[in-house]
Amino acid sequence: MARLPVTTAHLRVHHQSFRDQCLQGEVQAGGFNWEFQWFFDRGELCVEPSLGRALIQDALQRFLVKSDYRLEAGGDYSFTVRARF
């Protein structure tokens, strides 16, 4: 059976606000760079720029839902995306 393609995404948290219930940062994968805002009270994710956004948005949202309470401002994290960019 063939192995599924994977890409490692690297995430850095720049700002976290429990008052605004928001997490802001950047994510890099496969030569693409995006800025994101995660509004964890609403489960809303905004990713910019739009170039390549479809490649990362679902995987990033799953990672944030699973990990948001463990993420801290200034922290560096990584997760695997089951696709090759």
3-state secondary structure the chain: CCCCCCEEEEEEEEEEECCCCEEEEEEEECCEEEEEEEECCCCEEEEECCCCHHHHHHHHHHHHHHHHHHCCCCCEEEEEECCCC
* Under 8 Å between Cβ of 9 and 78: yes
Residue-range domain boundaries for the chain: 7-81
pLDDT for 3-16, tens place per residue?
888 999 999 999 99
For residue range 39-51, list pLDDT tens digits in order. 989 999 999 999 9
